[in-house]
Structure 1
């Protein structure tokens, strides 16, 4: 009789261990799936941030406007520091060009802060340039160049869909730039 109870106890323990092994395997599988999703998202974020580096350091800094289509959707909506918006890549490019008419050496060479989550990325860059050509003030009026340089922190927040930015928000201090080039109060 004692052996019978011992046998039942052993059978119960073995059965319980087998059930726990099944539950444990489900937990391991679930954790592996979550880790893979995290790893995939981190890799995608890094790819987008690398694209941002190329966008600013190469395409923007060298005015390679045709290359913006690599990172920007054709129907991108861009919000600028003054709150204005453009819709579509051609209008975005038209909005970027005037800065280069009075500061043709404008560049972004560094992104000291860069991160992302899901379909969003954010970079803080440093934009530099020199007010070396006349600045159009509208109505045929221009502002004479001062030869002074500017150095601004700027931030770009991007919302990505299908490998391209669908929405972009740009932030920098226009008043600081005007002060630095000798035209602000």
Structure 2
């Protein structure tokens, strides 16, 4: 299976392919036991907190590094805006695909875009990765991003949208393609923009 081709041509399909690979590799049964703990299916994690599960069984060193790095990226580096540490997870020339379909190239542009999220919601944070998968050079986590629209939001035309004071809590997913140096060459970000903007009063 050409995983890079799958991601490049359809990242949503690749997320399912990644899960299927875990099943065929024999790791999924133990991983599912970890994630669900025998308690049945998840509620909506964005509205009902779900504990972060243990890492799946059977990971090799590189796969565990990928998932540990994604945890650090979201829980510490992103949440606390430690932009000088983004190079621990992102290659200098990383390509980042955003939920609206556009992509950017380079770590500096990605840092600029991430800072933009905090400009209008300074309490933006990710503390949850309720699903974790890794196989070879691919990893995927699903989590919850939260924040509050408390500062003016640039509208892209030189003006600002005034804050509504509304909170948001949305499900998100990150799929990464990793290189031999242990950083991502390509990152795919997913969340529902309609839900996102609706929650902050712009939908």
Higher relative contact order (CA 8 A, sep 6+): 2
Count of residues paired in the alignment: 146
Contact 2:59-2:134 within 8 A present in 1 as well: no
Q: Tell me the equivalent position of 1:109.
A: 127
Greater fraction of residues in helix = 1
Q: Which of 1 and 2 has greater Rg?
A: 1
2-structure distance, mates of 1:99, 1:71: 19
Greater fraction of residues in strand = 1
What whole-Å deviation, never above 9, does each CA across 1:104-163 have from its counterpart, x for those lacking one?
A: 000000100011111000000100000000111022211111111000100000000021
TM-score by length of 1: 0.76
1-structure distance, mates of 2:104, 2:117: 16
Q: Tell me the equivalent position of 2:54.
A: none
Which 4+ stretches in 1 moved above 3 angstroms? none
Gaps of 5+ in 1: 1-38
Q: Tell me the equivalent position of 2:200.
A: 181
Which of 116, 140, 146 is the equivalent residue of 1:98?
Answer: 116
Q: After the TM superposition, which residues 42-121 of structure 1 pair with which residues of structure 2 at under 5 Å, given as runs?
A: 42-121=60-139
Contact 1:41-1:118 within 8 A present in 2 as well: no
Residue 135 (structure 1) aligned with residue 153 (structure 2):
yes
Q: Tell me the equivalent position of 1:164.
A: 183
The Cα RMSD (Å) is 1.4
Contact 2:140-2:174 within 8 A present in 1 as well: yes
